Structure 1
Amino acid sequence: MDLITKLLPATEQTPLLPPATGGDAAIPGFTPPTSRPSPSNEAPSTPAAEEGPFPTKQILLLCLARLLEPIAFFSIFPYINKMAQENGNLPNTDVGFYSGLIESLFSLTQMFVMIFWGRASDRVGRKPVLVASIVGVSLATMLFGTAKTIAEMVIYRCAAGVFAGNVVTIRTMISEQCGQRSKKQAKAFGWFSIANNLGISIGPLLGGALAEPVRQYPVLFKGWKWLEEYPYVLSSLVIGGLGLICAAVVGWSVEETLDRKGEDRQVEKMSVWELMKSPGVGIVLVVNGWIMLLAYSYTAILPVFWFTEVDLGGFGFSPVQISWLMGLTGLSQAVWMLAIFPPLQARIGTNGVMRVCAKAYPLFFALGPVFSMLLRTGNPALVTVFWALAPLAFCFGSGVSMSFTAIQLAVSDVAPSTRTLGTLTSISQAVVSGMRSFSPATFASLFALSVKAQWLLEGYSIWVLMVTMAFGFTVLSLRLPDYEQLKKEREARAEEETQRLLD
């Protein structure tokens, strides 16, 4: 049997993605950096009483809106391989290419429209742009389930990407609700990250549970001709319908945050290039991109790694086992973000959190092949060790998702002013979409090549690459800027400019 056929058998091509876009580990025994980060990395000096109450209702509504994009993106992953094969009459050897292409087009399209959505929200307001984006993604998602050809799948996936600009608008609205460098912002973005992780968990769970309902639930759906003809439409309709409900709630209850009263005031004008050359901005964007590269490459590899047969270097999990482990690690992510991230960020700062995660990445990546080797021995005692330790390791490892929230805070802190925050957010999200556009197909292909080359490190060469990339993040994290110092330098330059004008 061909290797690719063994990796993706025609009767069971529904590997599920892990709930974390990074799914890695915070390893016990790590200690924070010996030098404490600047106060700006911990909490702003502004007293809480002066900042006002935390806008709980508005942040929760924005988090609800945030759920949709990852749900729509990840919901097709459980069935995309089988759907592409059926719609295109593809041989097993071609399934990975087409499914990876369709998965990536969402993010590739999204990357090109990020700046457009940001500018549109500046012109017509945050709220109408947010609602329009949610409605567009919802309708495109509903249409995807009706696709009967590869071309239709591509068109509907691209359409969803065109409208998936809500993340930029939501991040801008959160910053405007809380105030730049406000300590409320750290809490709000923590909730934002939880919403994102929940969406990543819910998406594939819904997609897998509702795909092919006639086959999965014959008692309920036997004889439903339209579900037999369109086996994936129920999943798309449910997810799209939830999105339309979300759009209605957001349109009714979310407050507009664009300050139109300030439109006549002089606005600091910076080109994209000037903004990227501002002190600290470049390295933060590089770290942001590197984190996303690790996250999406790992996300692409992990479900196939779990699914791959043990004698080829995987775990040999069934779709049900993958689904359960995915849900378990998704729950653990929420615990990390709610219980661990806030006090840890307050203690060691934004940069400190990222540096701890940066040290954990390479160690946790190395655990994947180690666990596979335990199964590969066939020793009952070692197999028992695997089942006792592996689920705990993956749950504990999901703590590295804290780096995603930390880098969002870093982007906000490094912005030269609140008037450049929207543009900088758009740039950072374009980087994220760019990484997500090519990582799934590229690293899934690299994994397949690694497994095929069993003579090279017994099929584990992909993990050598992953660990090496993780060490790159470890090094880059040491170069993150001191945000408090940047703030003081900017204030000093502003005072000098004011004095020069007065003179």
Structure 2
Amino acid sequence: MRRRDQDEVAHETTALLAEATGVLAPTADADISEGLAFPLVSNGATDHDKPLPVKQIFLLCYARFVEPIAFFCIFPYINKMAQENGNLADTDVGFYSGLIESLFSLTQMLVMILWGKAADRLGRKPILVFSLVGVTFATAIFGMAKTIWQMILFRCIAGVFAGTIVTIRTMIGEHSTTKTQARAFSLFAFTGNLGISIGPLLGGALANPADQYPRLFGNSQFFKNYPYALPSFAIAFIGLTAVITSALFVEETLQKKPTHGEGESDPSKPAQLSTKELLKAPGVSLALYAYAHIFLLAFSYTAIIPVMWFTPVRLGGYGLTPLQISLLMGLNGVAQAIWVLLVFPPLQHRIGTTGVLKVCGIAYPFFFALNPFFGVLLKGGHGTAFWVLAPLSQVIGCGISMSFTAVQLAINDVSPTPQVLGTLNALSLTGMSGIRAFSPALFTSLFAVGARTQWVWGYAIWVLMTAIAGAWTVVSRYLPDFDGIKKAREVEADRDDTR
């Protein structure tokens, strides 16, 4: 692919062994928003030269930090909490804890488009602050739940306030230019991964404080009655600080600018597109499909790999201890940070967004196919070779996490107008929430069936995963030039501005 002079794009994602989450777009047209990513001419210079507003990016990244820590903080204690609140048998715990998380994602899926449209119409900042308030409240009360149904209700309330991720992704894009998006969205991705790592640590460290820290909390009847309140309160406090900083210091990025007096907008500018019209815009449907396919790979892998690492070698797993699993996951997180922060921006600048997606498309099947190979090494007693090659594979293979950032920038590139940016973000996240709702249960069940029946010696799930990855390899070869779509739109915007 040809080298581009000024088209540098980029963004986030989710940790390969965690949750995927968010990114997006340039934004503005001269009559809609000032100082944004569409090339606006002022005194002979285009807006591409605008420096990255570091303070605003930092504030938005801090607000973004709240969502993953709120989502993942309950993972260390959700099973025990559900068992105690519902008096559940050991065999029923997994069903109810999985139900709680699936309903959270389903709730997000149902409301995501509504939040995106609201952000496009009412502005980014009010939706961001309101959503942060809702997430903070829902997180605070979750630890007070004493029944299964209360746990489900409070978790669904948290899912309702999904407007944070939609608006933050959009605002990051609206503060960026084609020259600064790679850096901005790499920081955005890193913040999400940091929240994914810190959330479970806080949840595990603060759960049941009366037993964990008897000298500090042993005499507190409140924490004996509500053993999971402290982690919820701690996360809610972080959320409250994000509410305050966002309300006081975050700048609105959707600034509508009337041009005909009397508050009228320019009739030559395109009206707000309907969802149907948006889906028909050049490249939009393909970008949304690519987004869904890549996050299907991400979430399915995320669900399978911890189970496989724990499963005995004779059944098709690695038989690792919790400590070994934690070490590999930690290595995975560090490797992803390096790929996203240090490798992705210059690579995307050199070969473009579509080029990165094609390179990752080639790598996906090989990365997945290596997993049964390492299992065969262990079955053959080659433990030393396993511990040399498997970590190396994780470090190199984590490069596919660049596809999360690239595909979210593809969504950014195909946005036909800044007025639909929030809606387009919401559409991509709606699909992602739906995938996150069903994929963990589906793919772990398929892994269990393969291990139980010993199809393909217990590695049947990796045949399926490699096939899904191979399908993405094929699809990626036919992707449009997303950077070209964006550039054509910018040229048209320049032409309109000079008329």
TM-score of the aligned structures, taking structure 2 as reference length? 0.83
Distance 1:121 1:45 in 2: 23
The equivalent of 1:403 in structure 2 is 403
Question: In the superposition, relative to structure 1, how do residues 218 and 302 fare at CA in structure 2: closer, same or farther (>3 Å)?
Answer: farther
* Paired residues for 1:331-480 under 5 Å: 331-377=334-380, 379=381, 382-454=382-454, 456-480=455-479
Distance 2:300 2:48 in 1: 43
* Paired residues for 1:5-404 under 5 Å: 19-21=17-19, 50-179=48-177, 182-217=178-213, 221-262=217-258, 264-265=264-265, 266=267, 267-377=270-380, 379=381, 382-404=382-404
Question: In the superposition, relative to structure 1, how do residues 324 and 164 fare at CA in structure 2: closer, same or farther (>3 Å)?
Answer: farther
Instruction: Give the partner amino acid of 2:162.
Output: A
1:301-357 deviation digits (Å, cap 9, x = unpaired): 222222333333323334444334323322222221111111111111111111111
User: What SS does the corresponding residue of 2:257 show, helix, strand or coil?
Assistant: helix
**Higher mean C-alpha displacement, 458-467 vs 157-166:** 458-467
Instruction: Give the partner amino acid of 1:448.
Output: A
Instruction: Give the partner amino acid of 1:98.
Output: Y
How far the C-alpha of 1:239 sits from its partner, in A, is: 1.4
Instruction: Give the partner amino acid of 2:462.
Output: W
1:30-56 deviation digits (Å, cap 9, x = unpaired): xxxxxxxxxxxxx99998885221111
Checking the alignment, whether the CA contact within 8 Å between 1:307 and 1:315 is kept in structure 2 is: yes
Question: In the superposition, relative to structure 1, how do residues 264 and 171 fare at CA in structure 2: closer, same or farther (>3 Å)?
Answer: farther
How far the C-alpha of 1:418 sits from its partner, in A, is: 2.2
Instruction: Give the partner amino acid of 1:398.
Output: C
How far the C-alpha of 1:127 sits from its partner, in A, is: 1.3
Checking the alignment, whether the CA contact within 8 Å between 2:304 and 2:444 is kept in structure 1 is: yes
1:411-466 deviation digits (Å, cap 9, x = unpaired): 11112222332221221121111211211222222222222223x12322112111
Distance 1:370 1:207 in 2: 35
User: What SS does the corresponding residue of 1:259 show, helix, strand or coil?
Assistant: coil
Question: In the superposition, relative to structure 1, how do residues 453 and 45 fare at CA in structure 2: closer, same or farther (>3 Å)?
Answer: farther
Question: In the superposition, relative to structure 1, how do residues 84 and 341 fare at CA in structure 2: closer, same or farther (>3 Å)?
Answer: same
Distance 1:225 1:330 in 2: 38
Distance 1:429 1:18 in 2: 17
Checking the alignment, whether the CA contact within 8 Å between 1:355 and 1:477 is kept in structure 2 is: yes
1:466-488 deviation digits (Å, cap 9, x = unpaired): 11111121111112112354357
User: What SS does the corresponding residue of 1:260 show, helix, strand or coil?
Assistant: coil
Distance 1:488 1:185 in 2: 15
Question: In the superposition, relative to structure 1, how do residues 495 and 196 fare at CA in structure 2: closer, same or farther (>3 Å)?
Answer: closer
Question: In the superposition, relative to structure 1, how do residues 290 and 405 fare at CA in structure 2: closer, same or farther (>3 Å)?
Answer: same
**Higher mean C-alpha displacement, 287-296 vs 487-496:** 487-496
How far the C-alpha of 1:410 sits from its partner, in A, is: 0.7
How far the C-alpha of 1:111 sits from its partner, in A, is: 1.2
Question: In the superposition, relative to structure 1, how do residues 450 and 388 fare at CA in structure 2: closer, same or farther (>3 Å)?
Answer: same
Question: In the superposition, relative to structure 1, how do residues 213 and 361 fare at CA in structure 2: closer, same or farther (>3 Å)?
Answer: farther
How far the C-alpha of 1:283 sits from its partner, in A, is: 0.9
How far the C-alpha of 1:144 sits from its partner, in A, is: 1.6
Distance 2:176 2:495 in 1: 29
Distance 1:127 1:497 in 2: 29
Question: In the superposition, relative to structure 1, how do residues 364 and 44 fare at CA in structure 2: closer, same or farther (>3 Å)?
Answer: farther
1:276-314 deviation digits (Å, cap 9, x = unpaired): 112211111100000111111111222222233333332
Distance 2:55 2:16 in 1: 29
1:53-101 deviation digits (Å, cap 9, x = unpaired): 1111111111111111122122222332333233223333333322221
**Higher mean C-alpha displacement, 119-128 vs 164-173:** 119-128
Distance 1:375 1:219 in 2: 45
Checking the alignment, whether the CA contact within 8 Å between 1:21 and 1:401 is kept in structure 2 is: no
Question: In the superposition, relative to structure 1, how do residues 451 and 91 fare at CA in structure 2: closer, same or farther (>3 Å)?
Answer: farther
Instruction: Give the partner amino acid of 1:411.
Output: I
Checking the alignment, whether the CA contact within 8 Å between 1:20 and 1:401 is kept in structure 2 is: no
How far the C-alpha of 1:264 sits from its partner, in A, is: 3.2
Gaps of 5+ in 2: 1-14, 22-37
Distance 1:191 1:474 in 2: 27
Instruction: Give the partner amino acid of 1:483.
Output: F
Question: Displaced runs of 4+ in structure 1, greater than 6 A?
Answer: 43-49, 491-498
How far the C-alpha of 1:20 sits from its partner, in A, is: 4.3
1:149-182 deviation digits (Å, cap 9, x = unpaired): 2211110110100012211111221222225xx2
Distance 2:490 2:181 in 1: 21
Instruction: Give the partner amino acid of 2:427.
Output: I
Distance 1:282 1:85 in 2: 43
1:197-255 deviation digits (Å, cap 9, x = unpaired): 22222222222333334454556544544334333322222112111112112212111
Distance 1:214 1:189 in 2: 41
Checking the alignment, whether the CA contact within 8 Å between 1:22 and 1:294 is kept in structure 2 is: no
**Higher mean C-alpha displacement, 156-165 vs 93-102:** 93-102
Checking the alignment, whether the CA contact within 8 Å between 1:214 and 1:227 is kept in structure 2 is: yes
Gaps of 5+ in 1: 1-16, 24-42
User: What SS does the corresponding residue of 2:180 show, helix, strand or coil?
Assistant: helix
Q: CA RMSD in A?
A: 3.0
